Amino acid sequence: MADVIKQAEQQREAVLEEAAAASEQHRAWRDERNRLIIQASALNISHRRIASYVGLSDVWVGKIVKGESDGEDVPGSV
């Protein structure tokens, strides 16, 4: 019985570690997306056009460009 409990706890810990790693990857990809959004805006690409490529509204693209949001608070953001 102790082995079953220990195995279940190891599985729980492994899942939590994977979730933590996925969160780190999510943050890294979000930061990269934001960097590219800012770069695209600096190249005079409209916020509307950028938005169509990144799956955000042009308003949220503008907020990211202005530094008012990191995109984490975007409704439905991935």
- Residue spans of the domains in the chain: they are 2-66
CA torsion 44-46-51-52 (nearest 10°) is: -110
pLDDT confidence of residue 74:
66
Answer yes or no: are the C-beta atoms of 50 and 61 closer than 8 Å.
yes
- Write out the H or E segment, with its range, that includes residue 43: none
**What is this structure's pTM?**
0.77
- Coil, strand or helix at 44: coil
Show pLDDT as tens, one digit a residue, over the chain (78 residues): 789 999 999 999 999 999 999 999 999 999 999 999 999 999 999 999 999 999 999 999 999 999 988 777 666 554
Q: Where are the alpha helices (DSSP H) in 1-78?
A: 2-42, 47-54, 58-66
pLDDT confidence of residue 48:
98
